[in-house]
Amino acid sequence: MRETPYQQLERRFHRLNALGEAAAVLHWDMSAIMPVGGAEGRAEQLAELKAVRHGMLTAPEVGDLLDEAENEAEGVLTGWQPANVREMRQRWIKATALSEDLVVALSKACSACETLWRTARADDDFASVRPALEEVLNLTREAAAAKGEKQGLSLYDALLDDYEPDGRAADIDPVFDALEAFLPDFLGQVLEAQAAKPEAIPPEGPFPEQTQKALGVQFMQALGFDFDHGRLDISLHPFCGGTPDDVRITTRYDEADFTSSLMGVLHETGHALYERGLPKTWRGQPVGDALGMSMHESQSLLIEMQVCRSQGFLGYAAPIMRSAFGGNGPAWDQDNLQRLYTRVEPGFIRVDADEVTYPAHVIMRYRLERAMIEGDMEIADLPGAWNDGMKKMLGLTPANDREGCLQDLHWFDGAWGYFPTYTLGAMTAAQLFDAAKTQVPEIEPGIAEGNFKPLFRWLKTHVHGKGSLLPAKELLIEATGKPLDPDIFKAHLNARYLA
């Protein structure tokens, strides 16, 4: 029997997925265990895989097959199939929007700029990377225009859509405005309240790497991580990689301080359990993939911030931590550990920021990148605008560009439109966890005794098991009853830091 257009598409996307998984494992290998001398060859392997996948996705027949599948009579495509076609079309539109020349030019400009950025950051020399960054911005705007035209989107939305499908600046603005109005006063109150409490004491090490790893594994397993379908390794920048059936997280260990590595492991475990929980029957099809970066970050932050820095979790976890390292004294008390894990301190560096000040870093970057993409600000004005923003948001003035506009790789590497997803993820995490706790009363007592099954049952039903069946916005409404609501995140912060 001849295959229908839809069946042909399924087969092609299955192959695309298998090659994408191959690339994902090679990426993991490169970041976690590859010897340095393998770098050149690995770059070629990944580039060729990318080229092959791009060719498969943009082959002339794919557009025709999509037209035919979309025009099938009512009822021919059933269940999750229409959503699958919708996701296929989105990928096809994005892949065909840019000319090969522009893709190559952008890729080269980003590589060149990233290299210059490493030196510029080390030397605190913004001027040396400025022309390269201008080139990246020009090409990014060109790409945004081409993608925007195909998708009917503004320049910024066209970029955002790559990280957050259906994400729109018009939806982000009111949410970030509300947060920005709330944060400065709130932060003042938090710092005041914190000063009135006993200071958090860091447990004293050394904490042997092997013990830290064993402890991480113990908590990962308690959360439901299955080592028959994944690994825990070491890398310079912790991440979650691999594939849904072989999901690999990494961390790094500091023998003087186990707390940040452990929280990093729990964060990545949140990402990993999202991948593992994706619907098995849609595996390999676009509809079976995870949603965009906001939802992915919401799953890591739900575990790390909502669950693992809570009183309930630390009541269960503090004795396990103490016993793992044979610790004693007040530093190991649950209350002290919770103070340590929720300490707030405004600082210059985003990746070191706490839960309260993190959104300030993100909102500032969001406003700056929109202004640059929309042509309202020049790269030359970035250092000054950055420092003004920090002063306004957190009352701090960076002493130099290294702790200012040179700190993050994103823009220099072409990742424009990515930043807002961090804070959207934090807010989504708060909203999902709030709904879950309300709907399932067993969740909170479960966490307090190390039983995470009620929580993950809810997440599986409302998030993980849905894949990309619904756009993220609709999924959030189905799961929580309303669109993203900054008041829920504010309520979480109030409860944790001021109650």
Structure-block tokens of residue 469 = 């069946």
Q: Are 404 and 387 in contact (CB under 8 A)?
A: yes
Q: Which is closer to a second copy, CB of 33 or CB of 122? A: 33
Q: Which is closer to a second copy, CB of 15 or CB of 94? A: 15
Q: Is the dihedral of CA 346, 350, 354, 356 positive or negative?
A: positive
Identified binder of a second copy from the candidate list 18, 181, 193, 380, rule CB under 8 A: 18
Contact flag: residue 231 with a second copy (CB under 8 A): yes
Annotation marks residue 268 as catalytic? yes
Contact flag: residue 48 with a second copy (CB under 8 A): yes
Contact flag: residue 288 with a second copy (CB under 8 A): no
CA–CA separation, 405 and 126 (whole Å): 8
- C-beta atoms surrounding 79 within 10 Å: 11
Structure-block tokens of residue 196 = 């009135």
CA–CA separation, 107 and 353 (whole Å): 30
Identified binder of a second copy from the candidate list 114, 125, 180, 245, rule CB under 8 A: 245
Contact flag: residue 44 with a second copy (CB under 8 A): yes
Contact flag: residue 217 with a second copy (CB under 8 A): no
Least distance (Å) between residue 402 CB and a second copy: 29
Contact flag: residue 29 with a second copy (CB under 8 A): yes
Distance between first and last Cα of the chain: 66
**Displacement of CA 436 from its chain's centroid (Å):** 21
Span of 29-37, 107-115, 293-301, 439-447 interacting with a second copy by CB under 8 A: 29-37
CA–CA separation, 492 and 38 (whole Å): 46
Contact flag: residue 49 with a second copy (CB under 8 A): yes
Identified binder of a second copy from the candidate list 12, 21, 224, 331, rule CB under 8 A: 21
Contact flag: residue 42 with a second copy (CB under 8 A): yes
Work out whether strand 240-243 and strand 246-251 pair parallel, antiparallel, or are unpaired: antiparallel
Is 19 in a helix, a strand, or coil? Answer: helix
Q: Which of 268, 297, 355, 369 is an active site residue?
A: 268
Please report which helix (H) or strand (E) contains residue 339, including its range. Answer: helix 334-341
Identified binder of a second copy from the candidate list 1, 2, 37, 152, rule CB under 8 A: 37
Contact flag: residue 103 with a second copy (CB under 8 A): no
Least distance (Å) between residue 56 CB and a second copy: 9
Q: Calculate the alpha carbon distances from 238 to 32, 234, 440 in Å.
A: 9, 7, 32
Identified binder of a second copy from the candidate list 4, 8, 15, 96, rule CB under 8 A: 15
Q: Which is closer to a second copy, CB of 50 or CB of 150? A: 50
Looking at residue 415, what DSSP letter applies?
-
Structure-block tokens of residue 40 = 């050149």
Least distance (Å) between residue 44 CB and a second copy: 5
Contact flag: residue 243 with a second copy (CB under 8 A): yes
Could you say which residues in the range 116-175 bind a second copy, by CB under 8 A? none
Q: Which is closer to a second copy, CB of 225 or CB of 341? A: 225
CA–CA separation, 449 and 69 (whole Å): 50
Contact flag: residue 47 with a second copy (CB under 8 A): yes
Binding footprint of a second copy, residue count (CB under 8 A): 37
Could you say which residues in the range 246-275 bind a second copy, by CB under 8 A? 246
Closest CA to 273 of 233, 318, 319, 304: 304
Structure-block tokens of residue 321 = 């931590």
Percent of the chain as helix, strand, coil, to the nearest 5: 70, 5, 25
Identified binder of a second copy from the candidate list 149, 181, 193, 227, rule CB under 8 A: 227
Identified binder of a second copy from the candidate list 7, 51, 99, 174, rule CB under 8 A: 51
Q: Please, which residues have CB within 8 angstroms of residue 42's CB and are 6 or more apart in sequence?
A: 26, 29, 30, 34
Q: Calculate the alpha carbon distances from 404 to 192, 391, 399 in Å.
A: 26, 11, 8
Q: Are 291 and 472 in contact (CB under 8 A)?
A: yes
Identified binder of a second copy from the candidate list 94, 168, 229, 343, rule CB under 8 A: 229
Identified binder of a second copy from the candidate list 3, 33, 100, 352, rule CB under 8 A: 33
Closest CA to 372 of 133, 181, 126: 133
Q: Which is closer to a second copy, CB of 16 or CB of 394? A: 16
Contact flag: residue 57 with a second copy (CB under 8 A): no
Q: Which is closer to a second copy, CB of 40 or CB of 376? A: 40
Name the residues that contact a second copy, by CB under 8 A: 15, 18-19, 21-23, 25-26, 29, 33-38, 40-42, 44-49, 51-52, 226-231, 242-243, 245-246, 284
Which residues are designated catalytic? Answer: 268
